[in-house]
Amino acid sequence: MKYLEASVAPANVTPFWQRLPLFFRYPLHWQPLLYMALLSIATLLGFVLPIPTPFDHVLVHFGVWLAFIRYAYKTLDQTAQGLLTPDQHENYDAAERVNLPYKQFAILVVVSFVLGLAESAGALVFGVTMIFAILALPASVMILSITQSFWAGLNPFAALGMMRMIGMPYLGLCAFLFLLSGSQQILLMGLLPRLSNWLLLPTLNFVSMYFTLIMFNMMGYVIYQYHHELGVPIRTVPDGKPESDGDIGQLIGEGRIKEALEIAYEAQRLAPDDIAVNDRYHKLLVLAGRSDRMLSHGRRYLGLLLNKERGEEALALYRKLTEQDADFVPEQPAHLLRLAEVARRQRDFSLALAFIRGFDKRFPKHAEIPAVYLFAARVLCENLHQDAAARQILSGLLVNYPDHALAGEARQLLAVLDRLASAAATG
The whole-number pLDDT of residue 427 equals 59
Those residues of the chain that have pLDDT short of 70 are 1-12, 90-96, 234-251, 253-254, 427
**Which residue, 13, 32, 7, is CA-closest to 224?**
13
Say if CB 200 and CB 43 are below 8 A apart. no
The closest alpha carbon to 390, from 405, 410, 407, belongs to: 410
Instruction: Please give the Cα distance from 215 to 177 (Å, whole number).
Output: 6
Q: Are 206 and 184 in contact (CB under 8 A)?
A: no
Which one-letter DSSP state was computed for residue 35?
H
Count of residues for the chain?
427
**Greatest distance between any 2 Cα atoms in the chain:** 119
pLDDT of residue 237: 46
50 backbone dihedrals φ, ψ, rounded to 5°: -80, 55
Contact residues for 194 (Cβ-Cβ < 8 A; gap 6+): none
State the Cα–Cα distance between residues 393 and 158, nearest whole angstrom.
75
The amino acid present at 302, given as its one-letter code, is L
For 73-88, how does the pLDDT look when each residue is reduced to its tens digit (9 = 90+)? 999 998 988 888 887 7
Which pLDDT score is estimated for 87?
A: 75
Residue 227: predicted pLDDT: 83
* pLDDT of the residue at 8: 38
Q: Model pTM?
A: 0.56
pLDDT at 268: 82
